[in-house]
Copies of this chain bind each other. A is one copy, B any other.
Amino acid sequence: MSNSNLSKLPYKGCRDLFPKDKRVQDFLFETFSDVAKLFGFESYDGPLLEPIELYLAKSGQELINEQIYSFVDRGERTVAIRPEMTPTLARMVAQVHREVPLPLRWFSIPNLMRYERPQKGRLREHWQFNCDIFSLESPYGEIEIFQLLVEVFKRFGANRNHFAIHFNSRELVDGLAKNYLHLSSEQSYAFYKLIDRSKKIGQKEFKKELLAYAGGDTNKQSFLENYFALNSLESLSPFISKYQLACPRLASFLELIQKEEFSLLKPFLVYDPTIVRGLDYYTGLVFEVFNLHPDHNRALCGGGAYDNLLGIFNEKPLGGIGFGLGDVTLKDFLECHQLLPDFSKSKTQVLVAALDEKNSSFIPIIANQLRANHISCDVLWGEQKTKKIFNYSDHKGHQMIILLGDSNTPQGELLVKKTKDRSHVTCPIDGDWIQQVKTGLLS
């Protein structure tokens, strides 16, 4: 059995979630799930493995070659560990969308794997909160997804100083690339990749590469300069009018978001011409949630609206909108804004232990009664030393200790001790000590 070379550390880019780490993750997941359910979303899940064709059909060769964990199974099928949830979602929705009343509101929190060089905020394995609405007419779907995202962040204690939703419109960007700059589809692809990199490569380099797309045409140059100068909801409509760009979906969104009933949502929205999500299948609004911390100014979450996700299954077009929010980037966000509560201690409420052998036979009876009253407890079985009991309790963070066989406690009684203020009472073992515990846990 022994193997001295066996590492105790996790596989590169993956995490060991010890209880203190798992409590953080559970807190994130419970918040995701609570908010999604509040908005009428239903939870789903799918397989860990999918045939490689599913990802090839959606994302093309590039992502597959560079980033996916794929292998040939024993039945000679090439399969992949899911790098994202959307293709699985599309496959599942393609099975049922004709039989159920729309819209579908679905969410999931799957574990995903991508072959990345591990770095801050990016690991090979992460979990991702996915929400999608299928067939909710634009621009209501956009509004609802934004409301849900804002509510998730608010639940974590974040406000307008911490995050913003940066959005753009593929309808607008696709239109200006095709109809105004007259780019071919290969050129558009390179153009979108350049825009995707704009925040990384610096203003000067970006501008240089960008102006190449104007091909020396000064009208196109000033158009591009005007476009990338856009930085607010208010600046967008005059730009669209000036250049007579046709983007009816964006226009109806801009009209709706101005209404009084969305006044709570609007302050979180920032128009951002550099969001394109070019490698993806989006056709309508696209967006990213940005961390506004000056030292961690990066995207946490991306999404958008799509017209034809089911096309790969030869299904008729069914529009939708969705996003993915990863647990690693979100945890970094909460930590940098000091919004993450302390999860270093367990939530187990009570410890039951005995200082002598004779009294230890009461331990299971007391533990049973606590559990029957929905009070969580650890037990230390048999006879224990005081030091061991208090060490164990300090480490796990119990709120109370029930101690049997303490020499200062009368025969036939137990001691109920609050760890916070070290106060205690004694009660007959066959008496109503459960009431003392309940009161103590509340105070």
Q: A4 touching B48 by the CB < 8 A rule?
A: no
Q: A5 touching B143 by the CB < 8 A rule?
A: no
Q: Which of B19, B81, B347, B381 contacts A81 (CB 8 A)?
A: B81
Q: A8 touching B91 by the CB < 8 A rule?
A: yes
For the complex, give the distance between the alpha carbons of A92 and B23 in Å. 16
Q: A47 touching B101 by the CB < 8 A rule?
A: no
User: What is the CB-to-nearest-CB distance from A24 to chain B, in angstroms, rounded to a whole number?
Assistant: 11
Within 8 A of B (CB), among A321-351: 346-348
Binary per-residue interface labels of chain A (1-22) against chain B in the complex, 1 for a CB within 8 Å, 0 otherwise: 1111111111110111111001
Q: A364 touching B261 by the CB < 8 A rule?
A: yes
Within 8 A of B (CB), among A213-248: none
Q: Copy number of this protein in the oligomer?
A: 2
For the complex, give the distance between the alpha carbons of A308 and B327 in Å. 35
Q: Within 8 Å of chain B (Cβ to Cβ): is A43?
A: yes
Q: Within 8 Å of chain B (Cβ to Cβ): is A40?
A: yes
Q: Within 8 Å of chain B (Cβ to Cβ): is A105?
A: yes
Q: Within 8 Å of chain B (Cβ to Cβ): is A368?
A: yes
Q: B381 touching A40 by the CB < 8 A rule?
A: no
Q: Which of B19, B44, B72, B388 contacts A19 (CB 8 A)?
A: B44
Q: B11 touching A51 by the CB < 8 A rule?
A: yes
Residues in chain B near residue A144, CB distance under 8 A: 379, 381
- Chain-B contact segment, one of A171-179, A182-190, A370-378: A370-378
The size bracket of the interface on A is 35 or more
User: What is the CB-to-nearest-CB distance from A144 to chain B, in angstroms, rounded to a whole number?
Assistant: 7
- Chain-B contact segment, one of A199-207, A295-303, A309-317, A425-433: A309-317
User: What is the CB-to-nearest-CB distance from A441 to chain B, in angstroms, rounded to a whole number?
Assistant: 14
For the complex, give the distance between the alpha carbons of A48 and B83 in Å. 13
Q: A6 touching B57 by the CB < 8 A rule?
A: yes
Q: B14 touching A48 by the CB < 8 A rule?
A: yes
Which of A22, A95, A377 has the most CB atoms of chain B within a 10 A radius of its CB? A22
User: What is the CB-to-nearest-CB distance from A393 to chain B, in angstroms, rounded to a whole number?
Assistant: 9
Q: Within 8 Å of chain B (Cβ to Cβ): is A290?
A: no
For the complex, give the distance between the alpha carbons of A395 and B103 in Å. 11
Residues in chain B near residue A39, CB distance under 8 A: 371, 376-378
Q: Within 8 Å of chain B (Cβ to Cβ): is A442?
A: no
For the complex, give the distance between the alpha carbons of A2 and B10 in Å. 39
For the complex, give the distance between the alpha carbons of A443 and B39 in Å. 22
Q: List 21 A-B contacts (CB under 8 A).
A: A1-B57, A1-B312, A2-B314, A3-B312, A4-B314, A6-B53, A6-B54, A6-B57, A6-B313, A8-B95, A14-B46, A18-B96, A22-B44, A37-B348, A40-B396, A48-B48, A69-B73, A101-B388, A101-B395, A261-B362, A264-B368
